[in-house]
Structure 1
Amino acid sequence: MCGRFGLIPTHSELAELFALLDLEPFPPRYNIAPTQPILMVMSGEPREPGSNLPNRRSLLVRWGMLPGWVKDPKKFPLLFNARSEEAAEKAAFRAAMRHRRTLVPASGFYEWRKDGPKQSQPFWVRPKNGGIVAFGGLMETWSEPGGSEIDTGAILTTEANADLAPIHHRMPVVIHPQDFERWLDCRDNEPRDVAALMRPVQPDFFEAIPVSDRVNRVANVGPENMEPVEPKPAPARNQKKTEMPADEQLKLF
């Protein structure tokens, strides 16, 4: 899953990678949480004749999707993740998966390894080579009864690759730069045409760095959230095998 992430590149780095001309300056963000605004990149209006830049625009959306048919958001669950394997069929994501696929720029994300009922170890998961990563996202505009509109979104997830599976069984979908245009083109590419892009990222793409539990609190928004620490020792697992009674063993033959 992806319940927290960070975005700390410079404005120029972000604008260059995603070919954005409308990107407003932004401060670094070290602990982005659901319900907060997140940056998304979508397909936009055609450029002026002669421009070789792709048609893209940036927008800020509420992290937590509200489908257009929701009547009362207070009674609707917070959909900040969408399972990529089901998104094209689920009522909450089906329309966005067909018409409003997005890219979510990030410097990395946080994940927690459960070491017991009351113990967990947070990790800052970032690209090994540094830089910016793009998660697959979905956007939906929800209209309030009064007529105002709210842009909302979710991050797509897939099965964790072998590197991250020991920490958590899910991870964000990663869209590589060479696939940006294909992913964002909802006019010519239906969900089935981009299904191959929603697979676990290749091994060795990410590195997982143990960090302190400061990141557990949304109020902690400084760069110290990403500083490496000595990981908490995982509790010893009971390896003792239970002997099967002799009379039960006989039933197996």
Structure 2
Amino acid sequence: MTDQNAPDTSEMDPLIAQPAPAPPAIPRPPVHSGSRRRIRTRERIRYSRPRSLWIGTLLFFIGIESAVLLAIHASFNVEKTEQQTLNATLKHGDKEIKDLNAQVVEMTGLIAQQVHARLPGLRPLVFDRVIPIDTGRVKNIMFTQSGIGDEQATEYRVVLYNPGSATTRAPMEIMLFNQAGVQSGRADVGGNELGPAPIVLDPGEIRSYSDKITLETGQNAPFYFMLRERPAGK
């Protein structure tokens, strides 16, 4: 049994290791409220600088984007205005052209009336198309352009026939006129460089003649033509 009254040898024996004493507490200088504010201010400045830089960069790009959008909008408005002006000009030009065309048609009609009144028997000349006549001894006629420049000429092919029961003579001549009714060419059907040749058609006979009509100097393509029997003695 252990003797409870035995002395504590750990305190008495110097050879037994004792625990090291705790180091004395070093007093900390008191922190004043002004120092705390300066520390917090420095921390706010340190953390607010990156945020301010990010916000500034964002505002810079927003400004650039806004400027680009404004420029595009302004350019669109300018193009829209120019297009509207162009459309108005074209519309006005179309109206003027229509008015001029109406005047040309009216003047052409008046000239045609005067020409036909002065030269009865004129017919409109159409190239490369058979023009039915069926009057007198002429069945039909067709015109074709040939040559260029001063050598321009009008070729014709006319079909004559004799609907009667007796032999008949058919001295025919073809005359060409411009739009103003000025004669621009003439030819005797069946004639040659020696002069007109007699045309004799038997009863029921159909015969065609082809030749070239040289236009007068300075005359353009003919606009009208006339077929008639050549006067006797010519």
Of Structure 1 and Structure 2, the greater strand share is in 1
> Which structure carries more relative contact order (alpha carbon 8 Å, separation 6+)?
1
TM-score (normalizing by structure 1): 0.21
Of Structure 1 and Structure 2, the greater helix share is in 2
Q: Which has the larger radius of gyration?
A: 2
